[in-house]
Structure 1
Amino acid sequence: MTIATRKAGLAGLAVFGVAALLAGCASAPESGGSTDGSNAPVASDFLPCMVSDSGGFDDKSFNELGLAGLTDAAKKLGVKEIHVQSNSDSDYAPNITSLIDQGCNLIVTVGFNLAAATKDAATANPDVNFAIIDDNSITLPNVKPIVFDTAQAAFMGGYAAASYSKTGIVGTFGGMAIPPVTIFMDGYADGVDYYNTQKGKDVKVLGWDVAAQNGTFTGGFAAGTEAKQAAQGLIDQNADVILPVGGPIFLSAAEAIRDASKPIALIGVDADVFVTNPENADLFLTSIMKGMQPGVEAVTTDAAEGKFDNTPFIGTLKNDGVSLAPFHDFESKVDPALQGELDAIKAGIIDGSIKVESPSSPK
């Protein structure tokens, strides 16, 4: 399957494919719902719930996709859902507790930053099932990780950025230096290096050092002054492709680009941001996507049917759990040979002939 040239309808089919795959993942033997006295409720009694991280459910990205998966599942099951938004880290534990008190059967926590609160709550409440997005550190029978090897798709995004760049300088910055963020930055920088090796070029990456595992971070996931300044710093150093990693911080990068009034492209993360943020659609070269919406939907549906287990789902290029979005408005602006090169890179990553490794890749 091509990446840059596929149409929106094919992208939708890819998302459906993730849901179908997840629904078919190996799981524990069915517990039989309420008929055998187990903790698994029948669907009509099932109450799925979610806690956001501090980025909020209107981030046009990470939390919003997770909530869409939860509401899709609730609608399919004919049940209600409850979601609570966290405005700061101190909200995580109280928000989870409030959902337990309301009788939630499955609580989905959105993000690595909720790992400690999720583990504590799951340990104290073994009869409640949990799923956590972007964390694979909890080994409890009632916690299912939903994680993604986004370095694979980010590698392709870095290659595309290097191919597109006219200045020979591309950049990235993140919200916080945590594995779900740095995994994008690792793949991106390695993809640029691969382009340089293949083409004999010297495109530089600003904002992230793979070997040292350090770079530019705003300290949080909110759009605002820090994010705009981080983007502006890259623009001032002549970067003409920028990858902001961390929910709505891309909105501040877009502001900086508008102010700069020169051709600078963005690369989105998590969702196809060309679609989710049409106000800035003209700025997006592509997006590095994770199948969070179908992943949450499938895990929620399985839990309602008594098929919950703690086996992690790991999204990869092979199972369409991660992917690169179409080039959309940039399709006529990229090198005509780029698509074929990306197709070959994808095949190479899948068959192992191209190694993409990040310290943050899920195991």
Structure 2
Amino acid sequence: MTEKRWTWLIVALAAALLVFGAASCGGKKKSSSGGGTKVGLVSDTGGLDDKGFNQFSIVGFKRGVKDFGLSDRVYVSHTADDYLPNLTAAASDGNKLVIAVGFLLGPSVVTAADQYKDVKFAGVDQFYGGAGCKKAGTCTRPNVLGMDYPSEQSGYEAGVVAALMTKTGTVSSVGGKKLPSVDNWIAGFQQAVKDTKPGVKTLNAYSQDFEDIAKCKEIALDQIAHGSDVVFQVAGKCGLGALSAACDKGKIAIGVDVDQSGQGKCVIVSALKPLTTSVYGIIKTFKDGQFKGGTNKFYGVQQLPDAKLLTDFHGNVPQSVKDAVAKADKGLKDGSIKPPATLK
């Protein structure tokens, strides 16, 4: 056989191995780097560039990996069916810590934690234990830490803004799936509107989806048609459609989780969740040997008094609105304002 044919055979064999390797990953697209102790992260659906939840959790994860000399791998969930396979793959791959991003991964985290008792798990936007945990499949495990965010606090400040910025007297929220980690934002938002301007009407609807941008845009357009001129999105990547609808119609929008002002000039502020800093903190705790499972860690203003609940304002926002937000911020931090975490 000539040298040329040998070269062709080697290339063909390499290509075949690549195809086989890709097929063996199934729905678990993976990325990896580093050479130290192994840590993994399992994403929620919506993609790694969702401009919110996944993306900024991964920013904190990657930053921690770099700063503490760890080796990392990200396991991408394309559908909910990928949750458990990705978690078990992360544990079996030798990761000593696995971070699961998203409320819906909770039951799968418990299942994986029972199978891999020597692996530590942390769940972003997950709470373990409490009434109903057996039915939900989210009772505490000694190797699992819940990361809980009382987002009704940030939602409250968003509601103050909405109540004072509306000209029509109607504001709205677009939720993704009806989950506790969605409803707490909306409960705080609606309570603030009521406290700030009782006569303002609040609309709310769910897309039952965190990915389909068109669904949330349609909901927001319907709310705008019914008088809403301030739209608050709480629907992940899907919610980018709600922001788009507000901008298209010349209304006001409020982003969620991270600064989403880049989605359009109509996004005057975003309500924050400390995703990047909290995930980074878990990596540090693990590196320092201080990780403790069997409990939940909370990331509210009582635990993080210096944390910002809203981004800086963009566009023409009156000083009176900023002052009202500052007053609400003080009340949330001193405990005189306690917004509900659930909708009535």
User: Normalising to structure 2: TM-score of the pair?
Assistant: 0.82
* 2:27 alignment counterpart: none
Q: In 1, Cα distance between the equivalents of 2:196 and 2:276? A: 31
Residue 256 of structure 1, aligned match among 245, 262, 287: 245
Aligned partners of 2:233 and 2:243 also within 8 Å: no
Aligned partners of 2:45 and 2:79 also within 8 Å: yes
Aligned partners of 1:165 and 1:241 also within 8 Å: yes
Residue 73 of structure 1, aligned match among 64, 67, 82: 64
Residue 92 of structure 2, aligned match among 77, 85, 101: 101
Residue 104 of structure 2, aligned match among 94, 113, 131: 113
Aligned partners of 2:177 and 2:208 also within 8 Å: yes
Which amino acid is the alignment partner of residue 229 of structure 1?
E
Give the CA deviation at 1:102: 1.0
Between the two proteins, the alignment pairs up a number of residues equal to: 297
* 1:324 alignment counterpart: 310
* 1:135 alignment counterpart: 126
Q: In 1, Cα distance between the equivalents of 2:247 and 2:322? A: 28
Counting only pairs closer than 5 Å after superposition, residues 153-302 of structure 1 correspond to structure 2 as 153-197=154-198, 202-207=199-204, 216-260=205-249, 263-274=250-261, 278=262, 280-302=263-285
Stretches of structure 2 that go unaligned for 5 or more consecutive residues are 1-33, 129-138
Aligned partners of 2:43 and 2:77 also within 8 Å: yes
Give the CA deviation at 1:339: 2.0
| 1:319-348 Cα distance to aligned partner (Å, 9 max, x none) | 14561111122xxx3332222222222112
Which amino acid is the alignment partner of residue 337 of structure 1?
S
| 1:286-345 Cα distance to aligned partner (Å, 9 max, x none) | 11101111111111122122211124221123414561111122xxx3332222222222
Question: Aligned with 2:309: secondary structure?
Answer: strand
Question: Aligned with 2:324: secondary structure?
Answer: helix
Q: In 2, Cα distance between the equivalents of 1:292 and 1:94? A: 24
Which amino acid is the alignment partner of residue 146 of structure 1?
M
Q: In 1, Cα distance between the equivalents of 2:232 and 2:107? A: 28
1:342 aligns with 2:343: no
Aligned partners of 2:247 and 2:265 also within 8 Å: no
Aligned partners of 2:176 and 2:239 also within 8 Å: no
1:49 aligns with 2:40: yes
Aligned-pair identity in percent equals 29
Q: Which has the larger radius of gyration?
A: 2
* 2:289 alignment counterpart: 306
Stretches of structure 1 that go unaligned for 5 or more consecutive residues are 1-42, 208-215
Give the CA deviation at 1:225: 2.6
Question: Aligned with 2:177: secondary structure?
Answer: coil
Aligned partners of 2:103 and 2:125 also within 8 Å: yes
Aligned partners of 2:244 and 2:264 also within 8 Å: no
Q: In 1, Cα distance between the equivalents of 2:87 and 2:67? A: 24
* 1:64 alignment counterpart: 55
Q: In 2, Cα distance between the equivalents of 1:101 and 1:171? A: 45
